[in-house]
A and B are shown apart, each in its own frame.
Chain A
Amino acid sequence: MIGPTDQLFDVVMATAVDGVIVIDERGGIKAYNPACEKLFGYAPGEVLGRNVSMLVPAPQRSEHDGHISQYRNTGEKHIIGLSREVNGQRKDLSTFPMYLSVGEGQLDGARIFVGIIHDLTALRAETAQHGEASSLLAQIVRYSDDAILSKTIDGTITSWNAAAERIFGYSAKEAVGKHISILIPDRLLAEEAEILAKLHAGEEIRHYETVRRRRNGEEIFVSLSVAPIKDGDGHIVGASKTVRDFSEKRRAEIRTRELQDQLAHVARLTEMGQMSAAIAHEMNQPLSAIMNYVRAAQRLLASDPMPRQIQTARDAMAKAATQTGRAGTIIRHLREFMEKRSIQQSPEDINAVIEEAVGLALVGTAQLKIRVRLDMDPQLPKLRINKVQIQQVMVNLVRNSIDAMAGVERRELSLRTERLGPDQARIIVRDSGPGLSPEIFSNLFQPFVTSKLEGMGIGLNICRSIVEAHGGRIRALPGNGSGATFEILLPVPPTPEDGENDAAS
């Protein structure tokens, strides 16, 4: 080797990040660069002239010698011109993974082999970590309580965890390769198309509550979360799906709602029953007496009455009149009693009262997917109300709306508050139900008028008593065949602020 070529060789050897080793055809090390020193821990003096097998760990060492002699004898290449992953052995006898490529050349009429060694230690560590991470993920998936599955974009199931087996009753073997529609009740098949459309648009679906079908046909309430799976180029190639079995929770929710309904019904019945029994009993006596007196007088005056009979008839009529007075007194006491009940009023933030009431009324209605729009006027001053009673009114109206919307596709409930002039606040409750029939509309606030089969029809009547006891008004607004709208007007109490404003203007 001469001049600049030598120098270039030296610089290349010294600069190379990867290890470079040159051996002769017997394996004797002829060159060994600084990168190799770092890799193997040997100084050049310790390896030059010695056999390269010293850098190969014991298990492969004999093989290595074999490869060299085999190549020398038969020309059969094991590694020449190729690259492969092998292990190297350091001076301290520890081993490390390396990527070895070997080229063949001629020097001074003899064959030489040039090996380039790339250290794989860091890469391996990374891969190992990655492997651990993915096995951790695999375990999380395996032990998840939620079904986790993946599907291709056309809906073919590609993975299926243990929870999916438990929840849906199909084993992984049965499910993988099948179409996702095996899990979907026929009437909800359109839903899958919607989900796919959303996925195509790159949207995720979070906690979508719906119904799915088990292998045995049983339907279960589930909450779905679906996320698109993208390939390296960002194309959506499938979807991962998490399915939570809500049946237990839903059953509990349904039960709660049933109990609530029953309670509300009992409460209505009791209030109504007590009231009506009291009214019936109290009113029955004077009415019976009036009836008897009047019929007696009629009888006495029927034909040619004697003066004594006329006098008796007069007495009977006078007594009947007294009894009508008695009936009137009963009604007055009843009204006083009702009004006394509602006397406790305090300044309340009507918006908060309504929001709370709506929250109460919506309990257990998640499966109806009602869209609620609250449009509350934050400028509204506090109103003097009995919070419990106004909440009763709101809960009643909202529950009526929810019941009314049970049979329609689009369920929207909107509530609005606003100031209406200086001394009134207005609350609007609107639903997207079928609206009020004209015959219901005209009798709406009468007791016992209801469109519900099991209802007592007393709710709105009580609502009206409450609102009127607050000095307000409640009425149904004529809808144009689309939903029912109720309007409640409540008085805004005069405040010192208003006084100042009035004085200023």
Chain B
Amino acid sequence: MTGGKGRLVYVLDDDEAVRDSLCFLLTSHGIACEAFGSPPEFLGGFDPARAGCLVLDLHMPWLSGLEVLEKLRSRGVTMPVIVVSGRRNSASDAALLEAGALIVLNKPVDVGELLALIRAAMDAVP
């Protein structure tokens, strides 16, 4: 069981209802999670040792999802990142995948798909 490794799913979204509801959903499925409302909060507050997976909103003030991803990778953080975006295009998708995103999903996401991806991602983490 994924939660058994003590890892967390981090949720980074500037919309309070979205991140709160996602945590609700994950918790209801027995997945431990922690939510952040802004990139600086997340980058300063997450615990790399417990990082199981990141569900990342692409469009946020201050730093875009892509920049967050790049900062993580430059720090050597390898946790799987699932990007969620309401305004996708092939160029931004390519840049995100290039920067090491696991996948880019349309918002609103299909809950079943998201859960399956999170589980797979957590299991893949060594």
Contacts of A316 in B (CB 8 A): 21, 24, 28
CA distance A277 to B85 in the complex (A): 12
A441 to B108 alpha-carbon distance, docked (Å): 32
Selecting from B1-9, B12-20, B62-70, B116-124, the interface stretch reads B12-20
In the complex, 11 of the A-B residue pairs with CB atoms within 8 angstroms, ordered by the A residue number, are A280-B86, A281-B86, A289-B17, A289-B20, A292-B24, A296-B27, A296-B28, A299-B25, A299-B29, A300-B28, A323-B17
- The residue on B at minimum CB distance from A295 is B111
Closest to A287 in B: B108
- For the complex, give the distance between the alpha carbons of A288 and B114 in Å: 12
Q: How many residues of A contact B (CB 8 A)?
A: 26
B87 touches A281 (CB 8 A): yes
> B72 interface residue, CB < 8 Å from A?
no
A323, closest chain B residue (CB): B17
B86 lies within 8 A of A289 (CB): no
Number of A-B contacts (CB under 8 A): 68
Interface centre among B18, B27, B109 (most CB of A within 10 A): B18
Query: CA separation between A45 and B27, bound complex, in Å?
Result: 146
Interface residues of A (CB under 8 A from B): 277, 280-281, 284-293, 295-297, 299-300, 312, 315-316, 319-320, 322-323, 326
Q: Do A291 and B28 touch across chains, with their CB atoms under 8 A apart?
A: no
A284 to B17, CA, bound (A): 11
Q: CB-nearest residue of chain A relative to B21?
A: A292
Contact B18–A288 (Cβ < 8 Å): yes
**16 more A-B contacts (CB under 8 A) besides A293-B21, A312-B28?**
A288-B15, A288-B18, A288-B21, A288-B108, A291-B109, A292-B24, A292-B111, A295-B25, A295-B28, A296-B28, A297-B28, A300-B28, A312-B24, A316-B24, A316-B28, A319-B21
Measured between beta carbons, the chain B residues less than 8 angstroms from A293 are 21, 24-25
Which residues of the other chain, B, contact A297 by a CB distance below 8 angstroms? 28
Let me know if A319 and B24 touch, CB within 8 A: yes
Contacts of B18 in A (CB 8 A): 285, 288-289, 292
Shortest distance from the beta carbon of B79 to any chain A beta carbon, whole Å: 21
Whether A289 lies near B28 (C-beta < 8 A) is no
Q: Is the CB of A285 within 8 A of B87?
A: no
The chain A residue with its CB closest to the CB of B112 is: A295
Q: CB-CB < 8 A to A326: which residues of B? A: 17
Q: Which residues of A contact B20 (CB under 8 A)?
A: 289, 319
State how many angstroms separate the Cβ of A115 from the closest Cβ of chain B.
106
A contact residues around B59 at 8 Å (CB) = 281
Band of interface residues on B: 10 to 19
Cα of A295 to Cα of B15 in the assembled complex, Å: 18
| A295: B residues at CB distance < 8 A | 25, 28, 111
Our pick among A277, A285, A296 for the contact of B17 (Cβ within 8 Å) is: A285
> Are A289 and B21 CB-contacts (below 8 A) given A299-B28, A299-B29?
yes
Check if B17 sits within 8 Å of A319, measured CB to CB.
Answer: yes
B87–A292 touching, CB < 8 Å? no
CB-based contact B21/A296 at 8 Å: yes
Smallest Cβ distance from B85 to chain A, in angstroms? 9
Indicate whether B107 reaches chain A with its CB closer than 8 angstroms: yes
- Interfacial chain A residues near B111, Cβ < 8 Å: 291-292, 295
A312 to B25, CA, bound (A): 11
Q: Which residue of chain B has the shortest Cβ distance to A298 in the bound complex?
A: B28
Tell me which of B21, B27, B29, B86 contacts A284 (CB under 8 A).
Answer: B86
Q: Determine how close the nearest CB of chain B comes to the CB of A395; give it in whole angstroms.
A: 31
Give chain A residues whose Cβ lies under 8 Å from the Cβ of B22: 288, 292
A473 to chain B, nearest CB (A): 35
B28/A284 in contact, CB under 8 A: no
Tell me the residues in window 1-58 of chain B with beta carbons closer than 8 Å to chain A beta carbons: 15, 17-18, 20-22, 24-25, 27-29
Using Cβ atoms and an 8 Å threshold, which residues of chain B touch A319?
Answer: 17, 20-21, 24
Q: How far is the CB of A402 from the nearest CB of chain B, in Å?
A: 34
Task: Say whether B25 contacts A285, CB under 8 Å.
Answer: no
Residues from chain A with a CB closer than 8 A to the CB of B25 are 292-293, 295-296, 299
Name, among B25, B59, B87, B107, the residue most crowded by chain A CB atoms within 10 Å (CB to CB). Answer: B25
B9 to chain A, nearest CB (A): 13
Instruction: Quote the shortest CB–CB distance from B15 to chain A (angstroms).
Output: 4
- Contacts A293-B21, A323-B17 given; indicate if A288 touches B27 (C-beta within 8 A): no
Residue among A299, A323, A326 with the highest chain B CB neighbour number at 10 A: A299
Closest Cβ–Cβ distance, residue B121 to chain A (whole Å)? 18
Instruction: Pick the most buried of A288, A300, A316: most chain B CB atoms within 10 A of its CB.
Output: A288
Measured between alpha carbons, how far is A300 from B28 in the docked complex, in Å?
6
Q: Which of B72-114 contact A (CB under 8 A)?
A: 86-87, 107-109, 111
Contacting residues, chain A, for B87 (C-beta < 8 A): 277, 280-281
Task: List residues of chain B with CB within 8 A of the CB of A281.
Answer: 59, 86-87
- The distance in angstroms between the C-alpha atoms of A292 and B107, with both chains bound, is 12
Residue ID in chain A nearest B17 by CB atoms: A289
Q: Is the beta-carbon distance between B24 and A288 smaller than 8 angstroms? A: no
Complex: chain A residue closest to B19, CB-CB? A289
Q: A327 vs B19: C-alpha distance in the bound complex, in angstroms?
A: 17
| A320: B residues at CB distance < 8 A | 21
Q: Which residues of B contact A322 (CB under 8 A)?
A: 17
Chain B positions within 8 Å of A290 at CB level: 21
